[in-house]
Amino acid sequence: MLSAKGQGQQAEFLFECGLELAREQLNQKTEGECLYSLSHTAILLGDPHRALIRAEQAREIFRARTDCIGEASVATLLAAAHTLLGHFKQAEKLHQSGILLARAWQVPLIEAAHLANLGILRTRELAQQEQGLADLYRALALFQEQADAEGAAQTLKLLASVALGRQQQEEALEYLQQALGLAPGLKGLRVRIHFLLGEVYASLGLKEESLRHRGRAFACLFPSKASLFEMLFEDHEVALAEARARGDKREEAGQLLFLARRQADAPDLRGYLALFEQALALYRELGDLERLSAQLVELGRGLALFRPGRVRDKRARALGYWRAGRAFRRQYEENREITELDRVFSFLYPASLSNNDEEEEFQRALVRWGEKAFQRAWRASEEYYTTYMASLAPRKQ
């Protein structure tokens, strides 16, 4: 798991500890498994020499225990290490021997892994295009027969890269779309698929499509900043129409907010406010106090503090949104169940769960506008404030 998450050094240390314990206890089975994992980790870390040594040690143990399945499996690592070292013929022989062992012991997934790696080796390094493609198609069929979605998606990606190398962009697109449908929960694979889709669309001269897929790849890599990348690369008009067609109100609200923020710097704020208010209406309808409060605070604070010269006639509205957002946030915090994680988070970051900083921002608005203007806006904001407070009064969350 650590290896897959890019924490190779930590994984290597843990496997080394496991190997030492297995040798102390004369447990050959665990020793072979640790050596296999160390070889795999070394490949991920880009050290084929170490991977080769560990894989050969693992193979000796598997042979001593007459574990033909383990031997067939470790042959994939031996072949991968030889491929990285440029020993292509040796890698080919290892894949062929691994395929025979996997067939003899009826382990189709190991056979499929060898076929996929052999196929890409032949197409890229050995100039055996047709034979390599046949290997890849056979691997894909085996993964599909075994209902291995990840293996099938990986093989489709390999087929797409071969097709792209042969300037067969339409075929590459078809493979990649199929792969994307098989990999909804496979973050690392989705990243590579989106990047490859970006490359294919770029070769077709479709710049916007290329940028969109590269943006999705970055969003997969950095989920905490996904909204930023989506905002930069997504076609929100199309996404909004699709959300409405599906009846997905939460997604519709999100797309409306993206479209609103694009108009935040327009000379006239009417379009910005209209889109924002549509999104707020959807959150009210959904009874989502958390999102409603956050967006009301964002809108009110943004209008009051960052656009003071452009909202003289909208000051009351801004304060009304802001007041309602804060009130809804308090209501949400009072009603929700506080988990242990929340308590830890509030201990580490106490300001993040309080409204104290917003009191200071109210004071900033008061100073910026002047006390009389602020008080007039506050009294006039009562209408917006009461309207929003009444909108969820009958509901409980």
Q: How confident is the model at residue 376 (pLDDT cuts 50, 70, 90)?
A: confident
Confidence check: pLDDT of 38 > 70: yes
- Radius of gyration in angstroms for the set of CA atoms belonging to the chain, rounded to a whole number: 29
217-258 residue pLDDT tens: 776 666 655 555 555 556 677 778 888 898 888 888 888 888
Percent with pLDDT over 90 in the chain = 19
255-266 residue pLDDT tens: 888 888 777 666
Alpha-carbon torsion (212, 215, 219, 224), positive or negative: negative
Residue 397 has a pLDDT of: 44
Q: How confident is the model at residue 369 (pLDDT cuts 50, 70, 90)?
A: confident
Query: Which own/partner contact pairs does 172-180 have at CB distance under 8 Å and 24+ positions apart?
Result: 172/196, 172/200, 173/197, 173/200, 176/200, 179/152, 179/153, 179/154, 180/153
243 and 212 fall within a common domain:
no
209 and 259 fall within a common domain:
no
174-228 residue pLDDT tens: 999 899 888 766 767 888 888 888 888 888 888 778 877 877 777 666 665 555 5
282-319 residue pLDDT tens: 988 888 877 888 888 877 777 776 555 556 667 777 78
212 and 162 fall within a common domain:
yes
CATH code at position 168: 1.25.40.10
Secondary structure of the chain in HEC code, one letter for each residue: CCCCCCCHHHHHHHHHHHHHHHHHCCCHHHHHHHHHHHHHHHHHCCCHHHHHHHHHHHHHHHHHCCCHHHHHHHHHHHHHHHHHCCCHHHHHHHHHHHHHHHHHCCCHHHHHHHHHHHHHHHHHCCCCHHHHHHHHHHHHHHHHHCCCHHHHHHHHHHHHHHHHHCCCHHHHHHHHHHHHHHCCCCHHHHHHHHHHHHHHHHHCCCHHHHHHHHHHHHHHHCHHHHHHHHHHHCCHHHHHHHHHHHCCHHHHHHHHHHHHHHCCCCCCCHHHHHHHHHHHHHHHHHCCHHHHHHHHHHHHHHHHHHCHHHCHHHHHHHHHHHHHHHHHHHHHHHHCCCCHHHHHHHHHCHHHHCCHHHHHHHHHHHHHHCHHHHHHHHHHCHHHHHHHHHHCCCCCC
For residues 98 and 72, the answer to whether their CB atoms sit within 8 Å is yes
Mean pLDDT of the chain: 79
Residue 255 has a pLDDT of: 83
Confidence check: pLDDT of 10 > 80: no
Whole domain around residue 156: which residue ranges? 148-232
Report if residue 113 sits inside a domain: no
Residue 122 has a pLDDT of: 92
Q: How many angstroms separate the CA atoms of 33 and 393, rounded?
A: 61
173 and 226 fall within a common domain:
yes
Q: What token pair was written down for 260?
A: 């609103």
Q: What token pair was written down for 82?
A: 């030889």
Query: Which own/partner contact pairs does 222-231 have at CB distance under 8 Å and 24+ positions apart?
Result: 227/258, 230/258, 231/258, 231/261, 231/262
Residue 246 has a pLDDT of: 87
49-71 residue pLDDT tens: 999 999 999 999 998 988 888 88
228 and 241 fall within a common domain:
no
Q: How many angstroms separate the CA atoms of 234 and 211, rounded?
A: 9
Residue 305 has a pLDDT of: 67
Report if residue 265 sits inside a domain: yes
The count of other CB atoms within 10 Å of the CB of residue 57 is: 19
311 and 380 fall within a common domain:
yes
Confidence check: pLDDT of 44 > 50: yes
Indicate the range of 12-16, 71-75, 136-140 predicted with least confidence. 12-16
**Count of domains forming the chain:** 3
The count of other CB atoms within 10 Å of the CB of residue 245 is: 9
Q: What token pair was written down for 290?
A: 């958390």
For residues 82 and 52, the answer to whether their CB atoms sit within 8 Å is yes
Q: How confident is the model at residue 139 (pLDDT cuts 50, 70, 90)?
A: very high
Pick the more confident residue, 77 or 315. Answer: 77
Average pLDDT rounded to a whole number, residues 375-391: 81
Boundary-marking domain end, from 232, 247, 276 = 232
Report if residue 139 sits inside a domain: no
Residue 209 has a pLDDT of: 80
Residue 227 has a pLDDT of: 56
pTM of this prediction exceeds 0.85: no
Q: How confident is the model at residue 379 (pLDDT cuts 50, 70, 90)?
A: confident
241 and 323 fall within a common domain:
no
280 and 368 fall within a common domain:
no
Report if residue 99 sits inside a domain: no
Residue 19 has a pLDDT of: 86
Report if residue 260 sits inside a domain: yes
265-277 residue pLDDT tens: 666 777 888 888 8
212 and 262 fall within a common domain:
no
317-366 residue pLDDT tens: 778 888 888 887 777 666 665 454 444 434 433 434 345 556 677 777 77
Report if residue 196 sits inside a domain: yes
Q: How many residues does the chain have?
A: 397
Residue 347 has a pLDDT of: 41
197 and 259 fall within a common domain:
no
Report if residue 121 sits inside a domain: no
Report if residue 259 sits inside a domain: yes
282 and 311 fall within a common domain:
no
End-to-end CA distance of the chain: 38
Boundary-marking domain end, from 223, 255, 286 = 286
Greatest mean pLDDT among 40-44, 181-185, 227-231, 391-395 lies in 40-44
